[in-house]
Amino acid sequence: MTFSMTGFAAVARDTDYGALSLELRAVNHRYLELQFRLPDELRALETSLREGIVGRISRGKVDCRVGFAPAAQVQRGAPLNAEALGDLLRHAAEVRNVSPDSAPLTVADILRWPGVFGPDVVPLDRVARDLAQLLEQALRDLTASREREGDKLKVLLLDRVADMERIAAEVKPQIPQLVTAYREKLQARLAEALAGKDDDRLRQEIILYASRIDVDEELSRLTAHLSEVRRVLGQPAPAGKRLDFLMQELNREANTLGSKSVASTVSQAAIDLKILIEQMREQIQNIE
């Protein structure tokens, strides 16, 4: 299957100790890059979240956001964290020294501040278990989203591959005739310009030059690369990096085709191929 690197999933759960929510946002990136945003009281769970994501996603920039709202009864029965409260008041005093016009903290502000309630308020073992289940659900939803987007990208890429195969198939039968016609035209012009010179040497030079402008080999390699694109898109493994390399090879053959061209039809074919390759390259940037 082909997976896009773009996707989104959001899940939530209400428990007796509070409400948990988890969001995963994924966009394209050259490598796997993870970013986490967790409440301070759940920061210790980042490592387990990271391990869970790394095992399921191999490429892309993934933003994981966790929300937690403690239940009202937990808040009411929670002891104040004197150390955290002292730090908060000290920092507030330092801010007022620098900016005397700053509004003072209200009691409501203080009670809402992360860490003001004691660390025993949140049962981390239960949160860890519930959060692991939420992550599993979010990863399934994200994978399904990325697969749907990947299927669309795959269709677009295969359409471009078919267009390129059609162009190559149309051009290839014309090559021998084009080379022969160009060789005869060049031979006539050179024979006229070099009348009386060595005909055998002239003929050898013309044949050598004609072989240099023969693009049959380039078309064969281009067709082989397109077959490889089809094969890679049909594999279950991540395909983005392999496809990106194949686009470089396809572009190389299209450039050579254009530089060797001795007919407008071949030149136009080279241009059309490069346009299709660039369109494919843009889509491949979103494939895992």
Q: What is the pLDDT of residues 105-115, one digit of tens each?
A: 887 777 667 66
**In this structure, is residue 1 part of a structural domain?**
no
CB 23 within 8 A of CB 9: yes
Same domain, 178 and 264: yes
- Confidence label for 180 from pLDDT (cuts 50, 70 and 90): confident
Tokens of 17: 């100790």
Q: Rounded distance, CA 26 to CA 57, Å?
A: 10
Element (H, E) at 118: none
Higher pLDDT, 97 or 177: 97
Q: Rounded distance, CA 86 to CA 36, Å?
A: 28
Same domain, 15 and 140: yes
CA angle 222, 224, 225 (to 5 degrees): 65
pLDDT in tens, 207-219: 656 666 667 788 8
Q: What is the pLDDT at residue 120?
A: 47
* Alpha helices for 194-215 (secondary structure H): 199-212
**In this structure, is residue 129 part of a structural domain?**
yes
3-class secondary-structure state, position 103: coil
Same domain, 161 and 139: no
Q: 71: exposed, middle or buried (C-beta count within 10 Å: 0-12, 13-18, 19+)?
A: middle
Same domain, 105 and 65: no
pLDDT in tens, 44-89: 899 999 999 998 898 899 999 999 988 754 454 566 777 777 888 8
Residue 256's CB: how many other CB atoms inside 10 A? 16
Number of domains into which the chain is organized: 3
**In this structure, is residue 180 part of a structural domain?**
yes
CA angle 222, 227, 230 (to 5 degrees): 130
Compute and round to an integer the Cα radius of gyration of the chain: 33
Domain that holds residue 94: 81-112
Same domain, 176 and 127: no
**In this structure, is residue 2 part of a structural domain?**
no
Same domain, 159 and 93: no
CA-nearest of 56, 22, 51 to 130 is: 22
